[in-house]
Amino acid sequence: MTRLPSEMPIAMVTGAAAGLGQVIAGELHAAGYRVLLTDVDAAGAQAAAQALDASGTAAQGLALNVLNKADFEAALAHLKAGWGLPQVLVNNAALTLTTPVMQISPEEFSRVLDINLRGCFLGCQVFGAAMGEAGYGRIVNLASLAGQNGGTASGAHYASSKAGILTLTKIFARELGAKGVTVNAVAPGPMDLPSVHAAVPADRLAQIVKTIPVQRLGNPLFVARMVVLLASAEADFATGAAWDFNGGIFMR
């Protein structure tokens, strides 16, 4: 890896080969971050990074399976050896399934919880420890409206995992706050993303849009820009919070 000036902050995004993770990585890169895009799809992560920076000096892709703590440790070591200690972690990787609740097998339930919730836990644990030791860090976890209202089109396992992420965010915020590390969650509702259109039949999606007070799907670019804001040094008083983007479906 090419070592860049220390004044350029470093961020890592999981599940960044496509979808919202790729959009978030792009906005972090546009904001001046060096970004490590990680994904279980190594080729996809590398392609997404190349699209941001063909030279590899400010965007790189790396294979990372969020089920494995060793993969997070390896990613951290990879960053330290090349760019330095990351200031920002975005736990975005998730498996989104829409299986009806009475048809979910025990194996499928565990798989979704492991990828979504355990993956977030491991990221917070490994990177949170390193950031806490350094005295500074920003962690942003991708939760969901589904974790707040039980889901509108997503599966029960997905909704349960996202509810767990909201709680994990509070736990790690308390654990790391005195060490200069903030931990927040963003909770998007239905987004205008290819993955959403692929997961939900068109007629069902049209019905969902009718139930949204603003009558449209969410803009992933706006969510990504909020992640960048929460990742900033100025966001030192925001921690343990969940930031909602749901068009008015869920109002506190």
CATH number reported for the structural domain that contains residue 232 in this entry: 3.40.50.720
| Predicted pLDDT of residue 200 | 81
Give 19's contacts (C-beta < 8 A, 6+ positions apart).
193, 194, 195, 220
- Is 81 within the bounds of a domain? yes
- Is 14 within the bounds of a domain? yes
DSSP 148-187: HHS-SSS-HHHHHHHHHHHHHHHHHHHHHGGGTEEEEEEE
- Is 15 within the bounds of a domain? yes
pTM: 0.95
Q: What is the mean pLDDT of residues 121-127?
A: 98
Please state, as a whole number, how many other Cβ atoms lie within 10 Å of the Cβ of residue 77.
11
Q: Which residues pair with 10 in a beta bridge?
A: 34
Q: Sorting pLDDT into bands at 50, 70 and 90, what band is 3?
A: very low
Look at the chain and report how many structural domains it folds into. 1
| Predicted pLDDT of residue 1 | 38
Residue 128, pLDDT above cutoff 60: yes
Q: What distance in Å separates the CA atoms of residue 239 and residue 221, rounded to the nearest whole number? A: 22
- Is 222 within the bounds of a domain? yes
Catalytic residues: 158
- Is 250 within the bounds of a domain? no
| Predicted pLDDT of residue 192 | 94
| Predicted pLDDT of residue 93 | 98
Q: What is the pLDDT of residues 13-69, one digit of tens each?
A: 999 999 999 999 999 999 999 999 999 999 999 999 999 999 999 999 999 999 999
Q: Sorting pLDDT into bands at 50, 70 and 90, what band is 4?
A: very low
Note down the domain range covering 54: 10-243
- Is 100 within the bounds of a domain? yes
| Predicted pLDDT of residue 201 | 86
Please state, as a whole number, how many other Cβ atoms lie within 10 Å of the Cβ of residue 36.
28
- Is 136 within the bounds of a domain? yes
Residue 79, pLDDT above cutoff 60: yes
Between 196 and 225, the more confident residue is 225
- What's the mean pLDDT when you consider all of the chain? 95
